[in-house]
Amino acid sequence: MSENSFGRLLRVMTWGESHGPAIGCVIDGCPPRLKLSEADIQPWLDKRRPGQSRYTTQRREPDHVKILSGVFEGQTTGTPIALMIENTNQRSRDYGEIAQQYRPGHADITYDLKYGVRDYRGGGRSSARETAMRVAAGAVARVILRELIGPQLVIRGALTAIGAEEVDRANWDWAQTEQNPFWSPDSEIVPKWEKQLDAVRKAGSSIGARLEVVAEGVPAGLGAPVYGKLDSELAGGLMGINGVKAVEIGDGFAVSCLRGEENADPIRPSDDPLAPQFLSNHAGGILGGISTGQPVIARMAIKPTSSILVPVPSVNRAGEAVEVRTKGRHDPCIGIRAVPVAEAMMACILADHVLRNHAQCGWL
Amino acid sequence: MSENSFGRLLRVMTWGESHGPAIGCVIDGCPPRLKLSEADIQPWLDKRRPGQSRYTTQRREPDHVKILSGVFEGQTTGTPIALMIENTNQRSRDYGEIAQQYRPGHADITYDLKYGVRDYRGGGRSSARETAMRVAAGAVARVILRELIGPQLVIRGALTAIGAEEVDRANWDWAQTEQNPFWSPDSEIVPKWEKQLDAVRKAGSSIGARLEVVAEGVPAGLGAPVYGKLDSELAGGLMGINGVKAVEIGDGFAVSCLRGEENADPIRPSDDPLAPQFLSNHAGGILGGISTGQPVIARMAIKPTSSILVPVPSVNRAGEAVEVRTKGRHDPCIGIRAVPVAEAMMACILADHVLRNHAQCGWL
Amino acid sequence: MSENSFGRLLRVMTWGESHGPAIGCVIDGCPPRLKLSEADIQPWLDKRRPGQSRYTTQRREPDHVKILSGVFEGQTTGTPIALMIENTNQRSRDYGEIAQQYRPGHADITYDLKYGVRDYRGGGRSSARETAMRVAAGAVARVILRELIGPQLVIRGALTAIGAEEVDRANWDWAQTEQNPFWSPDSEIVPKWEKQLDAVRKAGSSIGARLEVVAEGVPAGLGAPVYGKLDSELAGGLMGINGVKAVEIGDGFAVSCLRGEENADPIRPSDDPLAPQFLSNHAGGILGGISTGQPVIARMAIKPTSSILVPVPSVNRAGEAVEVRTKGRHDPCIGIRAVPVAEAMMACILADHVLRNHAQCGWL
Amino acid sequence: MSENSFGRLLRVMTWGESHGPAIGCVIDGCPPRLKLSEADIQPWLDKRRPGQSRYTTQRREPDHVKILSGVFEGQTTGTPIALMIENTNQRSRDYGEIAQQYRPGHADITYDLKYGVRDYRGGGRSSARETAMRVAAGAVARVILRELIGPQLVIRGALTAIGAEEVDRANWDWAQTEQNPFWSPDSEIVPKWEKQLDAVRKAGSSIGARLEVVAEGVPAGLGAPVYGKLDSELAGGLMGINGVKAVEIGDGFAVSCLRGEENADPIRPSDDPLAPQFLSNHAGGILGGISTGQPVIARMAIKPTSSILVPVPSVNRAGEAVEVRTKGRHDPCIGIRAVPVAEAMMACILADHVLRNHAQCGWL
């Protein structure tokens, strides 16, 4: 365990600052003899990449990932897989103001309070740029899951609300998420979101969002009591994504209003004793911290981008009052680009639990 | 790291089953020379103990904690602190049905799917009884925080809703939480909750709840980028409490409907450069994973008790259809007794981060 | 990881002081459905127990181990196994001198320098009494190895020298180790050792020793590059046993005098591709940190007992000069009782690596 | 913890293969605001670099280290420090034979037995090339120790024997270690070693060695009972260096022949209560796993280079008998270049313990 790594058997450590020479990660614990190349990783990075529509930051980065170790002749060798992306789009500019002022809602002030120093260029370590490496690690985790569990395990994410505009679940179609710049599963809401975001951007403001990640085909038995619960680790992992302020598993907050019989997921006989049949899934696929075989469902709320043109009172490093307006290229809704990041975290955590479960219980 | 422990420098490992001879925990990493005795721990256990009102399970257990190591002549020695509570209230009875049937909403089926064996007596390891040891560890964490940070750091929890009946925040009075069996900060809602719970109990049902934990006086600078974020670890720790299905930090889900300027917490000049002044606290005291010095606020939703008298379809170990009605002594609303547990998790996680921060940044 | 635990997937945390109410350990990560009872553990504790001959301390403790959790109806459940031994032989006596003086060669002074406090009764946490829990954990590890690998995996230890009196390897007979109070594999040296130890004891002195642990039947492939090497973890684990000052793997120090061709272990074709045939075993069964399938061999040197009647200059807590003579019941040669402890550490480390290897490489 | 990382608070993860595009490491947990640049690291790498005399491999690599993250404007920021060295000297050649044959004494066969695949080019992950990153991490650890403890903490290593030719301790002069290509503290033995190594090389053979690392100025109180002992972690870390087969702390194996009074290090009154005075240092600066304030002394034995021109019987991947002669550029005595690696491991482990001690005990 370290402050910049996660996972127990599939261990991911990331490094790098937004405007340093590169960002990277090291993935330790990957099983050997899995086919892996940059072509397995790059498409997921492209999915996350900014600048693909007018609704995300216009910072354009090719984000070409390189595999530096752990793969030989197209196969994983069981040794650490080092991935790196060079930062090519560091605009040379004057950081004078941002270097001295604390942008409200950002980690500027807390990094300074903690460390007494910070790389202020583009947010440094606290930049969402770090999440590119989560996506890269998630791509490796997907390869592991595909090889060890099979193609029936499918992880998909969707944006479910921008501000108060929520998708209509009756229209839910996973295929739609690839057809619009918002990962919306509901094609009908897309024009409303476009209109809303255009207004937000014009106002120099930003807006919050909600999103959902679903893993189908997860085998029963992943997770562990008491401090290795699958839902506990998902909550920790997803809350750690930049801007996330809430995480739900299954019905989440709604369960607080339910009666016991309403919340119960009845179980029915099944042909496969390892795959029980449930009549509902309020639990989000997890009971007692362990997967039931039903879809694992997690939902998140993401705050509006803190970088806005609307001025907000703040202080500078000298402790003096200032007004901060954050110029530059920013996503009006960071929730959009969080979708592939949340998928990646789900993939990493599931792959880690597959290995952990195999170690302890895979001896039959 | 192990499946039954948490914390990085203040490491807590718990053990024990509901109906085994005892439950216990080992706390490693406690600083030396802190005054500690059973009298520092027992009151918190008493607070959590069932059977104190008719709104919690009537299982009565004295829950006397014993310190077995790590304390000498009233002081911590820096070596592991082992705590143990003997299980004295194991009613000898026939477990025939519960041994064979899977109670919906419980870990019965997932433990069997994972391990192929389970201690079915009272839920075994998945019983909420395990949380007594979290409360005990939390009491030790409170001693650490008091000695290392000071009495201004105060951690308090409250129940904020039972079903749809929510407290009126205008009535919020922390002192009230000690005056009613629900940890309600709003005395006016107490009769409504009593009425509601009586109805729920009479119906053989149960109901969900929401709760909140607030830590005031937390020094700025606790937490760490990127996978050691304070909010991330709180979310993981709180989601791991039995029955919790959602966790929010600060404004939580509500941020998804806010504009950037609404969500921003403006900063104002302060006399103390290490204690910036914020005009609001949407962030719940954490920015970029690191504490700001404002109150750290976490909210949770807890599902209705799964053990109900209302019959629910299920299967038995042979895979045959059964109807399960869970007799016995159960809390109609497990959310109530989760309040001291959530406080304890907050205390443990904060104490751990105090040590971690000191290790890396406490060198001035 | 914590200061009082070891192992990655088979995690052992121990607690307790020599003269506290009890000592114990918690073993996390044990596979489920293994037959386990106190009868699997007690014989190994009996083997280590003092007071069985006049060559070990006369402190008599029954050392009855109790399983407090993790086992149900005779089977492991996959949840933490808590073991406890009550300390029944705490002689009530005056600790005045020992409380104030630092015994040379003991941890008294370093505990005080580090923690500013120590439980001085019988050495407290630094007492060799803690090793009883290693032996108990080792017994559980042996059950795991027997069930997961098979009875061909055999771990045995022997004392190979007391002072300068070394066993004759030509006489080596493992069966002899059970026939004398020294775990000597050479029956001919036993009378010499008896004579030597009688003289040492009469002089109020003590003497060092060397010992060896051999694991036969270890499958090839255990261990890992680069910081999870099997030899590295064995060295760390064995050096952590009280009094050990040197560890060798295979030929150990002798290799420093060899030429490359003398040290090479030639390999020959074998019927079983997973069990290569080696013509020698200078390497001690490990190449590049990974087991070869040959016997894993580790040797240790243990210092003479520091508690002696011969007076040694020291200081007291006030910093004043004193002469320390350590009265009481002491082993004249702590190396003897270290044999079952070293066996136990080997068992724990191998079992941990079996699980780790299965997690990453056990997918064929 | 992961198979390719070590350290608890100062966490070092390395990656890379001998003939891949680069090797690197990530150092997590470094305190902020320490001055650090490539110039602090490069000299230590130069010291380890091969090709500096005819007694080490003639593979010439500039080994230019780059800092990719964690340092801003010349100061550490508290975020992960990523270091990378590009592999520029990968000779393009035919690996046909080495790809199919198992070199005796190498990890070739065990990697294949474990993973079923290996990067055979230059030993891949098992190459001593990985140790360059230990040296780089050790350089960062030295900066931490200098800033946090002070310049009085000095870590130095020396070669003490090549084969049977041992240095004369009466001639020991640390300054000499920088004056000859062997890190010999005894100038008189240098010509003998030269002659011996020339003969070994001419014979196409290799030879073992012994070395010693000493840390002076280590503050008392570093280390921890029971599984975080300083000697235990040193033994594990040093045994993990390529080719090491034995580790001693202090008098090491020699203690097995001592009487208690001979091995005791008498303590004398001191002006500084935190720096006790010892009259000898058989213990090697560690009692009960915790530093005493005396020099910490560790010794190692390293086997002869396994890559020799003398043919040794082996098998190929098809299981057929072959004779292996390892051509190419090899050190006749790998012990020589292990000296700076051992120093680096000592530095990393001490720096980690400084942080750990501060976290738990640095609150006065």
For B308-326, b where at least 16 C-beta lie within 10 A, e where not — what string? bbbbbbbbbeeeeebebeb
Mean pLDDT across chain A: 94
In chain A, the percentage of residues whose pLDDT exceeds 70 is 96
Nearest-Cα residue of chain D relative to residue B79 = D225
Cβ atoms < 10 Å from Cβ of C321: 12
Instruction: Check A226 against B269: CB less than 8 A apart.
Output: no
Cβ atoms of C82 and C209 closer than 8 Å:
no
**Residues of chain A contacting B210 with CB distance shorter than 8 Å:** 253, 256
CA distance to partner chain C, nearest, from residue A287 (Å): 16
Distance CA A113, CA B291 (A): 9
Each residue's pLDDT tens digit, C262-272: 999 999 999 88
User: What does the pLDDT look like over B239-253, one tens digit per residue?
Assistant: 999 999 999 999 999
Residue D272: pLDDT band (50, 70, 90) is: confident
pLDDT exceeds cutoff 70 at C163:
yes
Q: Which two tokens stand for residue D36?
A: 């650090």
Q: What pLDDT, on a 0 to 100 scale, did the predictor assign at position A88?
A: 85
Find, in chain D, the residue whose alpha carbon is nearest to that of A34: D117
> How many cross-chain Cβ pairs, A to D, lie less than 8 Å apart?
146
* Mean pLDDT lowest among A212-226, B261-275, B283-297, C32-46: B261-275
The answer to whether the CB atoms of C2 and B33 lie below 8 A apart is no
Residues A332-343, mean pLDDT to the nearest whole number: 96
Of B17, B72, B80, the CB nearest to C15: B80
- How high is the pLDDT of residue C62? 78
Which residues of chain A are at the C interface, by a Cβ-Cβ cutoff of 8 Å?
1, 9, 29-32, 78-79, 148, 225, 355-356, 358-363
* Residue in chain A lying closest to C361 (CA): A31
Q: What is the per-residue pLDDT across C306-340, written as a single tens digit (0 to 9) for each? A: 999 999 999 999 999 999 998 876 789 999 999 99
Average pLDDT over all residues of chain D: 94
Give the mutation candidate from A227, A355, A357 for the C interface (greatest C CB count, under 10 A): A355
Residues of chain D positioned with their CB less than 8 A from the CB of C107: 225, 287-290
Smallest CA–CA separation between B113 and chain C, in Å? 12
Distance CA A29, CA A79 (A): 7
In angstroms, the CA B333 to CA A231 distance is 21
Q: Which chains have 3 or more CB–CB distances shorter than 8 Å to chain D?
A: A, B, C
Residue D240 confidence (pLDDT) above 70: yes
Spell out which residues of chain B touch residue A113, defining contact as CB-CB under 8 Å. Answer: 220-221, 274, 276, 290, 292-293
Closest CA to B264 of A313, A130, C257, A227: A313
Decide if D105 and C237 are in contact by the 8 Å CB cutoff.
no
Tokens 């198992």 correspond to D102
Q: Is the pLDDT confidence value at C158 over 60?
A: yes
Give the residue among B190, B181, B176, B195 at the shortest CA–CA distance from B56: B181
CB contact under 8 A, D20 and A68: yes
Tens digits of per-residue pLDDT, C15-26?
A: 999 999 999 999
Residue A340 has pLDDT above 80, yes or no: yes
Contact yes or no for B209/B162 (Cβ under 8 A): yes
3-state helix, strand, coil in chain B (%, to 5): 35, 25, 45
Question: Which residue from D minimizes the CA distance to A80?
Answer: D15
Q: Model ipTM?
A: 0.96
Q: What is the DSSP letter of A38?
A: H
Question: Residue A95: pLDDT band by 50, 70, 90 thresholds?
Answer: confident
- Residue of chain D whose alpha carbon sits nearest to that of C5: D227
Question: Cα separation of B329 and B310, whole Å?
Answer: 14
Q: What is the secondary structure of A255-268 as a DSSP string?
A: GGG-BHHHH---EE
Q: What are the distances in angstroms from CA C228 to CA A29, A210, C48, C350, D237? A: 11, 42, 29, 12, 10
What's the whole-model pTM score?
Answer: 0.97
**Residues of D whose CB is below 8 A from C115:** 361
Q: Which two tokens stand for residue B358?
A: 């000191």
- Where chain B has pLDDT below 50, the residues are none
pLDDT score recorded for residue B91: 59
Whole-Å CA distances, D236 to C227, C248, D24, D240, D354: 9, 11, 22, 6, 18
Reply yes or no on whether the pLDDT at C104 is more than 60.
Answer: yes
Test C79 with B14 for CB contact under 8 angstroms: no
Given this model, what pLDDT does residue D1 score? Answer: 56
| B224 vs D52, higher pLDDT | B224
> Phi then psi for D212, rounded to 5 degrees?
-145, 140
CB contact under 8 A, A267 and B237: no
Residue A9: list chain C partners with CB under 8 A. 9, 356, 359-360
Q: Which of B2, B17, B80 sits opposite C4 (nearest CB)?
A: B80
Task: Give the CA distances from residue D88 to residues A38, A185, D22, in Å, rounded to whole numbers and listed in that order.
Answer: 22, 49, 8
CA distance D304 to C289: 16
pLDDT in tens, A138-154: 999 999 999 999 999 99
pLDDT digits (tens, 9 = 90+) for D71-113: 999 999 999 999 999 998 666 566 778 889 999 999 999 999 9
Quote the pLDDT of residue D352.
98
Cis bond leading into A226, ω under 30°?
A: yes
